[in-house]
Amino acid sequence: MHVGIIMDGNGRWATRRGLARLIGHKRGAAQVKKIVKSCPELGVETLTLYAFSTENWKRAAHEVEGLMKLFRGYLSNNLVELHEKNVRVRFLGDPTPLSPDILGMMQTLGNLTKNNTGLKLNVAINYGGRDELVRATRAIARKVELGELDISDINETCIAEHLDTNGQDDPDLIIRTAGEMRLSNFMTWQCAYSEFAFVEESWPDFTREVFESTLENFHSRTRQFGAVVTAQNKFTE
Ligand code: IPE
Ligand code: IPE
Ligand code: MG
């Protein structure tokens, strides 16, 4: 099962407590660790975390810098543990505008864990679903131009293979915290048949228990994928 999480509400969590928004992000980063740890026990095989969108650069410079500092901390503090826990880490998004040291750490973690067989953890940094489709379109067009691909070869499988998630199943469930009901440019292509869960808790309050009950609710749903599902042919995960 693949779960995508739009980790929202760090800023509001802090503001409500009279704290700086960055304190909320710090608490959010701590929450990531707990949720990642809980995945194998909860039957989650792939977890995609939306950490920073292509639109988040619009925030105040000190907030962006603070978030980058937290990524640095997360990457350096969790490298050994993620590898020990057999997690395979992949990054989604366009890494080019990120600072070279963050890029280096992302490459190290990706390479170190690439043959691991446990949880597949995707971290979406400078990710936008539309940007991903633009990059995929360019890559496909380049191949057509070079004669490596024929226009008639472009189909849904071909497009999926040129996305950052190539080789992975689409998310079965997308969770967004903090009560907002929108995707904010998350997995535009991949969400076609995802189930959605919008929970009231802000990301720093999204505990393992809340995660578990959200997953229980998901498992009680019937997914039809356009077909008519009867008791006899109910789709199973
Ligand atoms: C999510 O929390 C973290 C990022 C988008 C990086 P927000 O910072 O969006 O928190 P709110 O939505 O302002 O409360
Ligand atoms: C979405 O949250 C992006 C991430 C969680 C990384 P935002 O807080 O940036 O989304 P909007 O601006 O409320 O749509
Ligand atoms: Mg937000």
Residue 71: closest CA among 126, 119, 121: 126
User: Distance (Å, rounded) from C-alpha 226 to C-alpha 237?
Assistant: 16
Q: What's the 33 CA to ligand 1 centre distance in angstroms?
A: 17
Q: What are the pLDDT digits (tens) for 92-144?
A: 999 999 999 999 999 999 999 999 999 999 999 999 999 999 999 999 999 99
Q: What's the 182 CA to ligand 2 centre distance in angstroms?
A: 9
Q: What is the pLDDT of residue 178?
A: 98
Confidence of residue 229 (pLDDT cuts 50, 70, 90): confident
56 noted as active-site residue: yes
Q: What is the pLDDT of residue 232?
A: 61
Atom of ligand 2 nearest to the CA of 182: 14
- Asked if 92 contacts 120 with a C-beta cutoff of 8 angstroms, the reply is no
Ligand at minimal distance from the CA of 123 is: 2
Tell me the average pLDDT across 133-158: 98
Ligand at minimal distance from the CA of 21 is: 1
- pTM (whole model) above 0.85: yes
Q: Which residues surround ligand 3, an ion (CB under 5 A)?
A: 8
The domain ranges of the chain are 2-132+170-236
User: Distance (Å, rounded) from C-alpha 119 to C-alpha 105?
Assistant: 19
- Asked if 53 contacts 11 with a C-beta cutoff of 8 angstroms, the reply is no
Question: For domain 2-132+170-236, which architecture applies?
Answer: 3-Layer(aba) Sandwich (3.40)
Q: Which two tokens stand for residue 184?
A: 């904010």
Q: What are the pLDDT digits (tens) for 51-69?
A: 999 999 999 999 999 999 9
- Residue 7: CB within 6 Å of ligand 1? yes
Does position 79 have pLDDT exceeding 60, yes or no? yes
Confidence of residue 230 (pLDDT cuts 50, 70, 90): confident
- Residue 48: CB within 6 Å of ligand 1? no
C-alpha torsion angle, residues 125, 129, 135, 140 (rounded to 10)? 140
233 noted as active-site residue: no
Q: Which two tokens stand for residue 51?
A: 């950490």
